[in-house]
Amino acid sequence: MGRAGGRTRPRQSERARAKGPSQRGPVVPDTSPSRYIVKVDRATGAELPDEIEPGELLVHAHRDHHPVEIAAQYLASRLIEVTGNEALVKRGLRAVDRLGGRLARTAAEISGDPADERRVKQLLGVSARDFAFRFRETSHLTEKEVKARIRSLQKDARSRLAALGRRPRLRILLTGATGFLGKEILVQAASHPHVDEVVAVVRPETIRDRRTKRVLGVLSPRQRGARLLKRVGIRGKDARKFRFVKGDIEQPGFAISSTELTRLKRSLTHVVHCAASVSFDDTYESSFRANVLGCRNALAFSAAIQAARGSRFVAHVAIETSYIHGRRKRSIAQEDALVFPRHFYNNYYELTKAMASIETDRALVQDGLRVTQLLPSIVIGHSRTGNNRGDTKVVNAPINAFGRAKEAMDSLGEEWQDRARGWLVGLIATTFPADRSAELNLVPVDRVAAGILASLVSPEAIGVRIHLATDNRIRSEEVVRITREELGVNVRMADPTLTRNLTLPVVKAVLESMGEARLANVLEKLGTIFGVYGEWGQPIHDVGNDVRILGLPIRRPDTGAAFRMLCRHNRYVQAYGQVRDPDEIARREHLWEEAIDEVEFESGRQVPSMRAAEFRQLMADRIELRSFRAR
């Protein structure tokens, strides 16, 4: 997935190769999924000795292999559209599968050859898996013993917090401060009365020319930090709360200098581990390094701080994702239970974050680390303004693609080849592969950061998984309606199964034949990566602990309104991802927020309640929207 900015960072393996044998870093870790997952015989439940390939844990490995199965998926989507009842169709699909199984068994009985059962199943497209996966137990303790252990850790945290006084002065080590969520944490921490210091672990950044890729320079963590604070508007006394130290989450102890470490051992009250690789198309190895190895390093770091003499450590906060529950067709993903998803994982990001969560459970139960697990759903820009500080990931990617496709179609050339190419690209780039009833769980970044900061003073959150998600999920038909209204793009819904198996491969082949292989890949990526989240039967992420334990407001942000502001922000402020300079983004977002404040104050209405045209006019009265300068 595209990232903002023109910088690149070699993967660890590439860095190791570049260094040469004598300077190689630590030994390459064991990345086998078997540390977390076991393959079991479906009939007996017995563990199978097979080596687990990461690929077999993904949705793609188990579908689209048989025309009957593809047709069944397609028909299921259509039936859901007509009946509006996902549960009924799900039951129907299971019944058909069972019927196919019975037919296969009967055929085998008649022929007298047991192998015929599998053959007939294959012929009929009946899922013939005789194995399943489950997560390994994280401890041999009984449930009662685990609960007692957690109660004791919560008690320890309570007394540690109490020891900090009635107005605790918190000193936090934060990873991922330069990311989308990290920046919002910085902003909220700056004005937080109890946060005394934030030590951000940051790696150096290589700046390259966007076109030529020539290295223009390297920014040290301190330089990155100074720029970051300026961009997010933290200055003066507030800025003195922050320190930026060099570190890499993929290295043991984050490779933080020993002097710094000694200092941190005495001062830190919390570690918030937020850094990760949030990329839906990364390889397994790369996701594993950032998400699992990074998590292990973070847990070990906190364990050392917790055990240090004179330590003031209260707790570790692990930022995970509610998508560690993977695909589980329309069933409730409970906050406290992590079960291997019946319908697998959508990508290695989700899978490795689930593995990281298991590591965190182990650190809690086996090593006695005081740790809270926070699981945001899909994070979008600020609930009121849509501001996202230049983020172009996740939901932003398809929205920006829709907007850019429209712009491209509006400026088609005269040549028929240009027009044909533009029409084809526009057609596919404005297609939203989604079932009408699919629901997305979007949560604004300000709610997530508020949850993270609240967890620091909530000892009851230790040993608990907390979904930072919404109870007002948005349906894909609403996504399409709002996108049309706000972007003026005629986004069309398309059946995800058909898009995956027919439309995308055909369009890809045509574009390749026109010499547009790169474009073909981009479109295919957008369709296949994001299509999975638009299918019917998305998991329902249970919520409640955010209010009960963290004390967040029970009225969660209005998702429709927040999504509308995301569209407006991406259209005017980001120019659909084309404005990439972080300083320019910061300038625009500041102006945008001021103008919204003014409009709301003068009209006495909240801007999401305004129609697209009225909002545009009111903003255009204050900002020249092309140059984005105040009038």
Phi-psi region of 390 (alpha: psi -120 to 50; beta: other; left: phi over 0): left
Question: In this structure, are residues 81 and 437 in contact, taking their beta carbons and an 8 Å threshold?
Answer: yes
319 binds ligand NAP, rule: CB under 6 A: yes
Q: Nearer Cβ to ligand NAP, position 127 or 188?
A: 188
276 binds ligand NAP, rule: CB under 6 A: yes
Task: Tell me which of 154, 269, 321, 570 binds ligand NAP, using CB under 6 A.
Answer: 321
Residue nearest to ligand NAP (CB): 179
Choose among 533, 176, 595, 585: nearest CA to 391: 585
Q: How far is the CB of 395 from ligand NAP (least distance, A)?
A: 8
Return the beta strands (E) in 237-357 as ranges: 242-246, 270-273, 315-319, 332-333
> Rounded distance, CA 52 to CA 40, Å?
11
Strands 378-380 and 442-444, sheet pairing? parallel
282 binds ligand NAP, rule: CB under 6 A: no
DSSP code for 197: E
Q: What's the half-sphere exposure (Cβ side, CA atoms, 13 Å) at 254?
A: 30
278 binds ligand NAP, rule: CB under 6 A: yes
Tell me if residue 579 falls in helix, strand or coil. Answer: coil
Residues 6+ apart with CB under 8 A from 552: 447, 450, 451, 454, 546
394 binds ligand NAP, rule: CB under 6 A: yes
DSSP code for 58: B
Q: Nearer Cβ to ligand NAP, position 277 or 559?
A: 277
Paired tokens of 413: 């050339």
- What is the helix, strand, coil percentage profile of the chain, to 5? 50, 15, 35
**Residues 348-377 contacting ligand NAP, CB under 6 A:** 353, 376
Task: Tell me which of 171, 203, 312, 569 binds ligand NAP, using CB under 6 A.
Answer: 203
Question: In this structure, are residues 83 and 96 in contact, taking their beta carbons and an 8 Å threshold?
Answer: no
Q: Nearer Cβ to ligand NAP, position 89 or 278?
A: 278
Q: Nearer Cβ to ligand NAP, position 387 or 430?
A: 387
Task: Tell me which of 69, 116, 117, 248 binds ligand NAP, using CB under 6 A.
Answer: 248
Q: Nearer Cβ to ligand NAP, position 356 or 504?
A: 356
Q: How far is the CB of 321 from ligand NAP (least distance, A)?
A: 4
**Residues 457-476 contacting ligand NAP, CB under 6 A:** none
Candidate segments 29-37, 226-234, 271-279, 558-566, binder of ligand NAP by CB under 6 A: 271-279
- Residue 415: phi and psi, rounded to 5, are -60, 140
* Cα angle value 344/395/248 (rounded, 5°): 75
For the beta carbon of residue 544, count every other beta carbon within 10 angstroms.
Answer: 13
Q: Nearer Cβ to ligand NAP, position 106 or 283?
A: 283
**Interface pattern 171-200 for ligand NAP (x via CB under 6 A):** ----xx-xxxxx------------------
225 binds ligand NAP, rule: CB under 6 A: no
> Rounded distance, CA 421 to CA 517, Å?
12
290 binds ligand NAP, rule: CB under 6 A: yes
Q: Nearer Cβ to ligand NAP, position 154 or 322?
A: 322
333 binds ligand NAP, rule: CB under 6 A: no
Task: Tell me which of 364, 379, 440, 461 binds ligand NAP, using CB under 6 A.
Answer: 379
> Rounded distance, CA 396 to CA 570, Å?
8
SS (H, E, C) 89-116: HHHHHHHHHHHHHHHHHHHHHHHCCCHH
Task: Tell me which of 69, 116, 117, 250 binds ligand NAP, using CB under 6 A.
Answer: 250
Q: Nearer Cβ to ligand NAP, position 394 or 489?
A: 394
Tell me if residue 629 falls in helix, strand or coil. Answer: strand
Candidate segments 91-99, 232-240, 275-283, 410-418, binder of ligand NAP by CB under 6 A: 275-283
275 binds ligand NAP, rule: CB under 6 A: yes
245 binds ligand NAP, rule: CB under 6 A: no
**Residues 3-62 contacting ligand NAP, CB under 6 A:** none
Between the CA of residue 510 and those of 105, 402, 517, what are the distances in Å? 44, 20, 9
**Interface pattern 478-517 for ligand NAP (x via CB under 6 A):** ----------------------------------------
> Rounded distance, CA 627 to CA 623, Å?
8
With the CA atoms of 530, 532, 535 and 539 taken in that order, what torsion angle do they form, in degrees rounded to the nearest 10?
A: -110
397 binds ligand NAP, rule: CB under 6 A: no
452 binds ligand NAP, rule: CB under 6 A: no
378 binds ligand NAP, rule: CB under 6 A: yes
Q: How far is the CB of 394 from ligand NAP (least distance, A)?
A: 5
Contact positions vs ligand NAP (CB under 6 A): 175-176, 178-182, 203, 248-250, 274-278, 290, 319, 321, 353, 376, 378-379, 393-394
